[in-house]
Amino acid sequence: MNDFLKVLVDILSQPAILVALIALIGLIAQRKKLSDTLKGTTKTFVGFLVISAGAGILSAALAPFGEMFKAAFHVTGVVPNNEAIVAIALTDYGTNTALIMFFGMMVNILIARFTKFKYIFLTGHHTLYMACMLAVIMTVAGFTSVPLIIAGAVALGIIMSLSPAIVQPFMRILTGNDNVALGHFSAVGYAVSGLVGKAVAGKNPKSTEKINFPKGLGFLRDSTVSIALTMMVIYVVVALFAGPSYVESNLSDGTNYLVFAMIQAGTFAAGVFIILSGVRLVLAEIVPAFKGISERLVPNAKPALDVPIIYPYAPNAVLIGFFSSFIGGIVSMVIMTFTGGVIILPGVVPHFFTGAAAGVFGNATGGVRGAIIGAFVNGILISFLPVFLMPVLGNLGFANSTFSDTDFGVSGIFFGVLANHGGTIAIVVSLIVILAVMFGLSMKRKKSKAIEEEA
Q: How far apart are CA 289 and CA 304, in angstroms?
A: 14
CB neighbourhood size of 290 (10 A): 27
pLDDT in 10s for each residue of the chain, 455 residues: 667 766 766 766 676 787 788 788 878 877 888 888 898 888 888 887 887 788 778 778 877 877 888 888 777 777 777 777 877 777 778 778 878 888 888 899 899 999 999 999 988 778 888 998 999 899 988 888 889 999 999 999 999 999 999 999 999 999 998 888 999 999 999 999 999 999 998 888 888 888 775 666 555 556 677 778 877 888 898 899 888 999 999 888 889 989 999 998 888 888 878 877 877 777 777 767 766 666 677 888 888 988 889 988 988 898 899 889 999 999 998 898 888 777 888 877 788 889 999 999 999 999 999 999 999 999 999 999 998 888 888 776 656 667 889 999 999 999 988 988 888 899 999 999 999 999 888 876 665 555 545 54
**Quick check: 160 and 131 in contact, CB under 8 A?**
no
Q: How far apart are CA 351 and CA 321, in angstroms?
A: 9
Instruction: Quote the pLDDT of residue 455.
Output: 47
Q: How far apart are CA 160 and CA 244, in angstroms?
A: 46
Of 394, 375, 397, the C-alpha closest to 321 is: 375
Q: How far apart are CA 7 and CA 101, in angstroms?
A: 13
Q: Write the CA distances from 336 to 235, 327, 344, 345, 355, integer angstroms.
A: 25, 14, 8, 10, 20
User: Which region holds residue 322: left if phi is over 0, alpha if psi is between -120 and 50, else beta?
Assistant: alpha
Amino acid code (one letter) for 36: D
CB neighbourhood size of 279 (10 A): 23
Is the torsion defined by CA of 185, 293, 280, 36 positive or negative? positive
Phi, psi angle pair for 305, to nearest 5°:
-105, 165
Three-state secondary structure readout of the chain: CHHHHHHHHHHHCCHHHHHHHHHHHHHHHCCCCHHHHHHHHHHHHHHHHHHHHHHHHHHHHHHHHHHHHHHHHCCCCECCCHHHHHHHHHHHHHHHHHHHHHHHHHHHHHHHHHCCCCEEECCHHHHHHHHHHHHHHHHHHCCCHHHHHHHHHHHHHHHHHHHHHHHHHHHHHHHCCCCCEECCCCHHHHHHHHHHHHHHCCCCCCCHHHCCCCHHHHHHHCHHHHHHHHHHHHHHHHHHHHCHHHHHHHCCCCCCHHHHHHHHHHHHHHHHHHHHHHHHHHHHHHHHHHHHHHHHCCCCCEEEECHHHHHHHCHHHHHHHHHHHHHHHHHHHHHHHHHCCCCECCCHHHHHHHHHHHHHHHHHHHHHHHHHHHHHHHHHHHHHHHHHHHHHHHHHHHCCCCCCCHHHHHHHHHHHHHHHHHHHHHHHHHHHHHHHHHHHHHHHHHHHHHHHHHC
Cβ neighbors of 110 (< 8 A, separation 6 or more) are 157
| Chain centroid offset of residue 104 CA | 18
Instruction: Quote the pLDDT of residue 295.
Output: 64
**Quick check: 242 and 71 in contact, CB under 8 A?**
yes
CA triplet 308, 258, 346: central angle to 5 degrees? Answer: 45
Q: Write the CA distances from 345 to 76, 249, 253, 327, 367, integer angstroms.
A: 7, 23, 25, 11, 29
Q: How far apart are CA 26 and CA 18, in angstroms?
A: 12
Burial bucket for residue 207 (CB in 10 Å: 0-12, 13-18, 19+): middle
